[in-house]
């Protein structure tokens, strides 16, 4: 929010939407046009990296995007996966290593551990109790 208030151009997307858009652009012969959507802003926010697996084509296109933005624009990326799991998420350890090499150079990494904030309130509002058969109430 602070970036927007300071007039910095920002684009927000999920990893899956980003990859789907790049694949669509590639299939339609409009990859460069789609890439510009993600390379033009000073700050690119990518949410939910690793929640869904990305196929090899998607991983290659994601690498191209990260490579084009490298040292030219900032990226904030959220993920529920540790870096060692990215090879599995992207289906290729070599591509994952190349992406992480560019993302982590000049970066600040913040690890947040703990209970899901979405579930936290729900669990407090309704305590878990079990029936005689072991099922939850």
pLDDT per residue as tens digits for the range 18-28: 999 999 999 99
Alpha-carbon torsion 106, 43, 71, 68, what sign? positive
pLDDT per residue as tens digits for the range 51-75: 999 999 999 999 999 999 999 999 9
Dist. CA 28–CA 49, nearest whole Å = 25
Place of tokens 């084009």: 68
The residues spanned by each domain of the chain are 2-125
- Tell me which fold the domain 2-125 belongs to: Rossmann fold (3.40.50)
Q: What is the pLDDT of residue 115?
A: 81
Q: What is the pLDDT of residue 126?
A: 57
Q: Is the pLDDT of residue 128 over 70?
A: no
Tell which phi-psi region holds residue 70, choosing left (phi > 0), alpha (psi between -120 and 50) or beta.
beta
Give the Å distances, CA to CA, from 74 to 43, 46, 61: 5, 11, 18
Dist. CA 132–CA 115, nearest whole Å = 28
Place of tokens 């990494």: 109
Instruction: Tell me which residue of 72, 77, 65 sits closest to 36, measured CA to CA.
Output: 65
């Amino acid at each position: 929010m602070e970036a927007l208030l300071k007039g910095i151009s920002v684009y927000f997307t999920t990893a899956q939407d980003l990859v789907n858009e790049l694949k669509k652009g590639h299939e339609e012969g409009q990859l460069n046009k789609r890439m510009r959507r993600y390379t033009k802003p000073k700050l690119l926010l990518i949410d939910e990296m690793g929640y869904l697996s990305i196929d090899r084509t998607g991983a290659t296109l994601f690498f191209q995007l990260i490579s084009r933005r490298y040292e030219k624009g900032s990226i904030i990326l959220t993920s529920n996966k540790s870096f060692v799991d990215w090879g599995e998420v992207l289906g290729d350890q070599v591509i994952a290593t190349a992406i992480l090499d560019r993302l982590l150079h000049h970066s600040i990494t913040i690890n947040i551990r703990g209970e899901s904030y979405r579930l936290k309130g729900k669990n407090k509002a309704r305590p878990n109790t079990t029936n005689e058969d072991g099922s939850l109430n």
